[in-house]
Structure 1
Amino acid sequence: MGRTKKVGSAGRFGVRYGRTTRKKIADIEALYKGRHKCLNCKKISVKRTSYGIWECNKCNVKFAGKAYSLN
């Protein structure tokens, strides 16, 4: 599984679907799989739990936001 170093999570598609489509998917997944800044405690510890639901791991506060990004 050495194909994901450059392309990230879109490496699971291999050569299928074209470069631009795989790049768009990789950008979207990096946006919602990463950590974000908490609106309450200001620490970078917010992760997405489900569509539009974000939860801070430090202060255990849940937010409602967009599906792929917090703000």
Structure 2
Amino acid sequence: MTDTPVSEMSFEQAMKELDSVVDRLERGDVSLNESIALYERGAALKKRCEDELKRAEEKVAAITLDGDGNPTGTTPVDGL
């Protein structure tokens, strides 16, 4: 686990750490208290990844296309 706050992580950082958390929990070689802490961190990392994916989807959805399907620009999306 890193000391980086989840809210400051990129999607890639959060995903990498989430994979590490899952691996450690699956091995089952951590104490109950550490398992709980890992689970809580994992839940926060999962939410961060979901939020970042949603933001990316909204950006992609905001790309406008011309009649031939070529990108012509973007349309502002609330919250971006």
Q: What TM-score comes out, normalization by structure 1 length?
A: 0.37
Structure with the larger helix share: 2
Larger radius of gyration: 2
- More contact order relative to length (CA 8 Å, sep ≥ 6): 2
Q: What TM-score comes out, normalization by structure 2 length?
A: 0.34
Structure with the larger strand share: 1
